Amino acid sequence: QVQLVQSETEVHKPGASVTVSCKSSGFSFTSHPIHWVRQAPGQGLEWMGWINAGSGNRKSSPKFQGRLSLTTDTSANTAYMRLTSLRFEDTAIYYCARFWADGEALDFWGQGSLVTVSS
Amino acid sequence: DIVLTQSPLSLPVTPGEPASISCKSSQSLLHSNGFTYLNWYLQRPGKSPQLLIYLGSRRASGVPDRFSGSGTGTDFTLRISRVEAEDIGVYYCMQALQTLTFGGGTKVEI
């Protein structure tokens, strides 16, 4: 079955960087773009960017102004989201999700990774 | 970016009764291929979002038929024919016509 398993909770100081991993199984990793979505405490969902492991194409929200890096390791069927120069407002649960082209939807989601930015 | 506006923000429901949520888009979500690129998700407390409806009105695999999506262009509705206790959580609409954006969410509570 399709699964996206993310890395665990992390705590970082302002200015540091964090990398969240998203290991996929049960489907062709290179055939489905992976999107990243975050959710601040008590808030709604915010799209961050996507990457296609098959083509190498990627796109990030301008909101992150070069702080966001999306990569993949096709040998490990894993996607990575790296956010640098962390700020207090980056505290959130970060989700990876598979994009299903036929339905134009994010059909499977990881369990989420809590990133806390605290001094 | 396309802006999605959901209403109401909070929706008290009664088990066995119907419920509906509105999602209005700042521009038409009708693609030139004839499909509407609007999805609905349910996020239960402490869980990841779950796809309910895709392409405006199609139920995702395993979704009970009490859930239905409708609408065209810029106005969309998610309906629950008879609310069950497991339906509580926050519902989001999401558009995929352009860079993905989400509505602000509607909290459904009993």
CB contact under 8 A, A47 and B102: yes
pLDDT confidence of residue A66: 87
Among B35, B37, B39, B48, most A C-beta atoms within 10 A, so best to mutate, is B48
Contact (CB<8Å) A44/B103: yes
CA distance A98 to B51: 11
- Which amino acid is it at B57? S
In this prediction, residue A12 has a pLDDT band, given cuts at 50, 70 and 90, of very high
Please tell me the distance in Å from A4's CA to the nearest CA on chain B. 11
Q: Which of B100, B101, B106, B107 to mutate to test the interface with A (most CBs of A within 10 A)?
A: B100
β pairing state of A10-12 and A113-117: parallel
Place of tokens 């975050």: A38
> What mean pLDDT comes out for the span A60-78?
95
B30 Cβ contact list (under 8 Å, min separation 6): B36, B72, B73
Cα–chain-centroid distance for residue B96? 13
Angle A85-A9-A119 (CA atoms, 0-180°, nearest 5)? 45
Which of B43, B51, B103 has the CB atom closest to A105's CB atom?
A: B51
CB atoms within 10 A of CB A21: 18
Pair B63, B80: CB distance under 8 Å? no
In the predicted model, is pLDDT for residue B36 greater than 90?
Answer: yes
When pLDDT is averaged across residues A103-113 and rounded to a whole number, the result is 96
Mean residue pLDDT of chain B comes to 97
What are the start-end ranges of the E strands in chain B?
4-7, 10-12, 19-25, 38-43, 50-54, 58-59, 67-72, 75-80, 89-95, 101-102, 106-109
Q: How far is B100 from chain A (nearest CA, A)?
A: 6
Look up residue B16 and give its two tokens.
């066995």
pLDDT of residue A65: 82
Percent of chain A with pLDDT over 70: 100
- How confident is the model over A29-52, as a mean pLDDT? 97
Distance separating alpha carbons of residues A80 and A99, to the nearest angstrom: 16
From the list B37, B41, B60, the residue facing A104 with the nearest CB is B37
